[in-house]
């Protein structure tokens, strides 16, 4: 035996249990490490086998491991639970090699109980962290929906204000009509139709908003342009009130269908448009505009939203998608964060922002 081989054998003896078994798995020899690990004397081990020292559920697999070692020549990293003389359960990793010339099996045993315990503890920590992050995500989703609902209520108020004012004027006009000697019933019919139209419009507004907040349970194919138009319709009155023009530029050859959650995508687009609108209003831009472009580039469907709201301060660009970060006095700091989560995690795309000319540019990329 060379010096190098002696060193290897010495290391194996100190760090691993080495034993020799007959073809039935009965011990013929064991080194000190194995004896100390299992708590048996060598005399006691002569009456035991690698099978008898196994826990109940590993008796049959241990028998099969001995058979396989003889049949195939060796078995690597066979894991099982052994029972020591004191009754302690010990997690072990074993490698068996059949020596045909001697008709013996050499078994090297490692105690991996601490490794298993560490892995289990690590797994618990991972599960706890996942649970913690899941709970945080649910809270953020809930807060995002509450913040969105607040904005939607404000939008509903804007959508309803005009028809309510119109109906108030009509009702006052009816009072004067009733005092006339000759009542014009054709005019009354026109007034009735006008009121019905106003009520129908208000009812449709409620339907639009209730659909917007309905949670999608499974992914489906939806049309990008239709979803963008749905989002614009929800905020269109506010855009008109602030004299903000929306322009949509479209590649007519592009297939506009994508796979995902339509309502979540509408929420993203609404967040983008609302942020652009508020930037234009806050900076008191005259002739504000929001340009939306949809085109194909590098196997991605790209949606660009560009405004002239003077852009984002450079020091805020890296933080703009952070949860709870906002530059608005009454902002929640959740909308843009949730938008990024929806695009990147739910639709496997990307969402970035940069300053562009006289405003900001949000770019959404969705893979084909």
Domain boundaries, the chain: 3-111, 121-214, 216-368
Q: What is the pLDDT of residue 11?
A: 40
Report the pLDDT value the prediction gives residue 209, as an integer from 0 to 100: 61
More confident residue, 341 or 185: 341
pTM strictly above 0.75: no
Alpha-carbon distances of 330 from 147, 150, 237, 267, rounded to whole Å: 10, 11, 21, 19
The encoded tokens of residue 177 equal 């009509």
pLDDT of residue 200: 74
Position 149 scores a pLDDT of: 59
Strand partners, 295: 302
CA 238/CA 275 separation, integer angstroms: 13
* Residue 190 confidence (pLDDT): 74
Nearest to 266 by CA among 301, 303, 238: 303
Say yes or no to pLDDT of 303 above 70: yes
Q: What is the pLDDT of residues 217-267, one digit of tens each?
A: 678 898 999 989 988 887 887 888 889 999 999 888 888 898 888 888 888
Identify whether the C-beta of residue 158 lies closer than 8 Å to the C-beta of residue 209.
Answer: no
pLDDT at 10: 45
What 3-state DSSP class applies to 303? strand
Question: What does residue 105 show for φ and ψ, rounded to 5 degrees?
Answer: -115, 125
CATH class, domain 216-368, is alpha beta
Instruction: Give the pLDDT score at 286.
Output: 83
β-bridge partners, 93: 79, 110
Q: How confident is the prediction for the chain on average, in pLDDT?
A: 80
Whole-number pLDDT of residue 31? 93
pLDDT for the residue numbered 9: 43
Quote the pLDDT of residue 270: 85
Q: What is the pLDDT of residue 263?
A: 81
State how far the Cα of 159 lies from the Cα of 119, in Å rounded to an integer: 58
Interacting residues of 167 by C-beta distance below 8 A, sequence separation 6+: 195, 198
- Whether the pLDDT of residue 294 is over 90: the answer is yes
Give the per-residue pLDDT at 43. Answer: 94
Q: What is the CATH class of 3-111?
A: alpha beta
Give the pLDDT mean for 124-145: 70
Query: Would you state the pLDDT for residue 133?
Result: 74
Alpha helices in 3-83 (DSSP H): 3-15, 32-38, 42-45, 59-72
**Angle at CA 237, nearest 5°, toward 231 and 240?**
110
């Amino acid at each position: 035996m060379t010096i190098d081989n002696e060193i290897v054998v010495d290391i194996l003896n100190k760090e691993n249990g080495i034993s020799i078994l007959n073809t039935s798995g009965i011990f013929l020899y064991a080194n000190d490490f194995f004896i100390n690990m299992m708590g048996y004397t060598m005399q006691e081990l002569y009456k035991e086998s690698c099978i008898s020292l196994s826990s109940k559920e590993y008796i049959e697999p241990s028998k099969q491991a001995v058979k396989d070692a003889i049949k195939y020549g060796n078995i690597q990293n066979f894991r099982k639970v052994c029972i020591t003389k004191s009754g302690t359960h010990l997690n072990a990793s074993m490698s068996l090699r059949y020596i045909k010339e001697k008709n013996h099996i050499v078994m090297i045993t490692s105690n991996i109980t601490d490794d298993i315990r560490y892995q289990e503890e690590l797994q618990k920590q991972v599960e706890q962290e996942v649970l913690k992050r899941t709970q945080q995500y649910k809270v953020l989703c809930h807060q995002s929906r509450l913040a969105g609902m607040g904005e939607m209520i404000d939008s509903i108020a804007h959508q309803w204000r005009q028809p309510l004012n119109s109906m108030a004027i009509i009702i006052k006009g009816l009072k004067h009509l009733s005092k006339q000697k000759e009542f014009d019933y054709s005019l009354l019919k026109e007034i009735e139709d006008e009121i019905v139209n106003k009520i129908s419009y208000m009812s449709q507004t409620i339907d639009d908003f209730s659909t917007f907040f309905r949670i999608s349970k499974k992914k489906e194919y939806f049309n990008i342009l239709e979803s963008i138009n749905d989002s614009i319709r929800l905020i269109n009155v506010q855009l008109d009130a602030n004299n903000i023009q929306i322009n949509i530029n479209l590649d007519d050859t592009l297939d506009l269908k994508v796979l995902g959650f339509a309502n979540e995508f509408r929420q993203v687009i609404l967040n983008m448009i609302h942020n652009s609108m508020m930037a234009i209003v806050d900076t008191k831009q005259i002739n504000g505009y929001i340009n939306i472009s949809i085109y194909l580039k590098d196997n991605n469907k790209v949606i660009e939203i560009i405004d002239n709201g003077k852009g984002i301060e450079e020091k805020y660009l890296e933080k703009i998608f952070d949860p709870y970060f906002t530059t608005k006095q009454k902002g929640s700091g959740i909308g843009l964060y949730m938008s990024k989560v929806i695009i990147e995690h739910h639709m496997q795309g990307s969402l970035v922002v940069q300053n562009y000319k006289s405003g900001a540019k949000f770019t959404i990329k969705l893979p084909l």
